[in-house]
Amino acid sequence: MKIAVVNETSAGHRNPDVMKALETALAGQGHTIINAGMKQQGGDPELSYIETGFLAALLLNTGRADFIVGSCGTGQGFVNVALQYPGVFCGLITEPTDAFLFARINGGNCISLPLNKGYGWAGDVNLQFIFEKLFTAGSGAGYPESRVEAQAKSRELLKEMSTQTHLPFKDILNSMDQGVLARTLTFPGVWEILDVDTLEDAQLKAILIEKYNNAKA
């Protein structure tokens, strides 16, 4: 699994904690961890949760990531932005039980962590326990046993609803705020992660190249 860590500016200084906890929790499991967002608090260039929420959707919709570990100060901003895009199923996670139930019941592909609010003593330990439960609980396994079948049906219905209630991602790239798009595409390391030349979708590839060239002009 390709797991992308996407920190925004107010939680950028927590990036080392997130990376260490994730690497420790997943050691030896064969996952690829991509550090795609802010690595420090503030600075120039800078990504807010508006850009990182879009970045999460971009990585998922291009297949460059299978799962997103996102965050912001409270976790609320990132989760709200990420859910505006198709194919993103995101949950706010504050402790290991949240992670366990989100994985088993919702089977989502994105989480949002509050990395300033409530992040105190042993915050890094809490992160490690969250990741252990999140990635070992069994995505979509259901809980409790009596609800497994119903939950599976709900997940499939939600996927259909996401398609029905969102524009296609390629159309979003043309209609969205172009400043957000430009800041995201030109953020250090993002274009390299996207590796656009190898995308199989020729139309998506062409749109992204055009947007990137416009942003760099």
pLDDT in tens, 2-12: 999 999 999 99
Tell me how far apart the alpha carbons of residues 182 and 149 are, in angstroms, rounded to a whole number. Answer: 43
- Residue 109, pLDDT above cutoff 90: yes
CA 72 to CA 59: how far, in whole Å? 18
Share of the chain above pLDDT 90, in %: 97
Residues 84-102: pLDDT tens digits? 999 999 999 999 999 999 9
The number of distinct structural domains making up the chain is 1
Q: Which domain holds residue 42?
A: 2-216
CA–CA separation, 138 vs 173, rounded Å?
33
Per DSSP (E only), the strands in the chain are 2-6, 32-35, 67-72, 90-92, 110-114
H/E stretch holding 173 reads helix 169-175
pLDDT for res 89: 98
CATH number of the domain within which 166 lies: 3.40.1400.10
Q: CB–CB of 1/31 below 8 Å? A: yes
Q: What was the pLDDT predicted at 175? A: 96
| 16-57 confidence digits (pLDDT tens) | 999 999 999 999 999 999 999 999 888 889 999 999 999 999
What's the whole-number average pLDDT of the chain? 96
Report residue 201 as tokens. Answer: 């979708």
- Which residues does 69 contact at the CB level (< 8 Å), separation at least 6? 3, 4, 5, 6, 18, 22, 111, 113, 131
Are 1 and 67 contacting, i.e. CB atoms less than 8 angstroms apart? yes
Q: What is the pLDDT of residues 123-147, one digit of tens each?
A: 999 999 999 999 998 999 999 999 9
Q: What is the pLDDT of residues 158-169, one digit of tens each?
A: 999 999 999 999
Please determine, for residue 176, whether its predicted confidence score (pLDDT) is greater than 90: yes
Q: What is the C-alpha separation between 199 and 143, in angstroms, rounded?
A: 37
For residue 106, the model assigns a pLDDT of: 97
